[in-house]
Amino acid sequence: MKPRILIVEDEPGLRMGLVDGLRSEGFHVEECADGLSGLARAEQGGLDALVLDLMLPGLDGYEVLRRLRAARRALPVLVLSARGEDEDRIQGFEYGADDYVVKPAPLREIVLRLRAILRRTVAVEGAEPAAQVRFGEVEVDFPSYSLTRAGKRHGLNRLEAELLRFFLAHPGEPLDRNRLLDEVWGQERPASATRTVDTHVF
Ligand code: CA
């Protein structure tokens, strides 16, 4: 199932770029050009996440977010704004944004942040992937962070378990260090140490 994303952005060029870019990354994408129609679409449900610009004609992004949260909509929201000031960022989070990207942002960053908030939501909602996974002679038990290989049990730390889960969810895909850092470490990403990945993988 492709994640269903709604983009609310009034700048036509930027909106089209986002729509095309996210589609090519495997998302199902819908679009709105103003806050009121964006809010109406979001309230219909059936979306997995919202990419929301702040400066919008009519209803601005803050107000869209405030009304969504007031209606107890748990829809994950990635705020997209030309403003990078700390105050705007904090206000976005206060209104219930899940993450914040300052425009212009590379598509790759938007995709990674979207995937991260989607993954967090899945975890929170308890739609957990299988607790045990078997491949070859290895059986992994995620709740106890352990794996058994040829009858011998090995303990894993949480990051090792998360990495393993991530690898198993992406069979055959080349995964570079930055993607692993973004998707597995996420918020706990170390400041400037892609070598951290090597330490945990090898
Ligand atoms: Ca705008």
Backbone phi and psi for residue 46, each to the nearest 5 degrees, phi listed first: 80, 10
CA 104 to ligand 1 centroid distance, Å:
12
CA 44 to ligand 1 centroid distance, Å:
23
Rounded Cα distance, 93 and 21, in Å: 25
* pLDDT, average across residues 23-36: 97
pLDDT at 151 over 60: yes
What's the CA angle centered on 45, arms 63 and 125, to 5 degrees?
95
Taking the CB of residue 108, how many other CB atoms lie within 10 A of it?
A: 13
* Residue labelled with tokens 């140490």: 193
pLDDT at 201 over 70: no
pLDDT at 21 over 80: yes
List alpha helices for the chain, DSSP H: 12-24, 35-44, 61-70, 86-94, 107-124, 158-169, 177-180, 195-201
Cβ-count burial of 92 within 10 angstroms (0-12 exposed, 13-18 middle, 19+ buried)? buried
* pLDDT, average across residues 182-194: 62
* pLDDT, average across residues 156-161: 72
Taking the CB of residue 193, how many other CB atoms lie within 10 A of it?
A: 13
CA 92 to ligand 1 centroid distance, Å:
15
pLDDT at 82 over 50: yes
Q: How much of the chain exceeds pLDDT 90, in percent?
A: 40
CA 17 to ligand 1 centroid distance, Å:
14
- How much is the pLDDT for 202? 44
CA 53 to ligand 1 centroid distance, Å:
6
CA 63 to ligand 1 centroid distance, Å:
14
Question: Out of 2-6, 31-35, 145-149, 182-186, which region has the weakest mean confidence (pLDDT)?
Answer: 182-186
pLDDT at 91 over 80: no
- pLDDT category, 126, cuts 50, 70, 90? very low
- How much is the pLDDT for 33? 97
Give the pLDDT confidence of 42-78 residue by residue, as tens digits: 999 999 999 999 999 989 999 999 999 888 777 999 9
The more confidently predicted of residues 151 and 200 is 151
Rounded Cα distance, 183 and 196, in Å: 14
CA 183 to ligand 1 centroid distance, Å:
28
CA 16 to ligand 1 centroid distance, Å:
13
* pLDDT, average across residues 154-168: 74
CA 89 to ligand 1 centroid distance, Å:
15
Question: Out of 18-22, 61-65, 148-152, which region has the weakest mean confidence (pLDDT)?
Answer: 148-152
On average, the pLDDT of the chain sits at 81
| Residue 132 DSSP SS3 | strand
CA 76 to ligand 1 centroid distance, Å:
20
- How much is the pLDDT for 61? 93
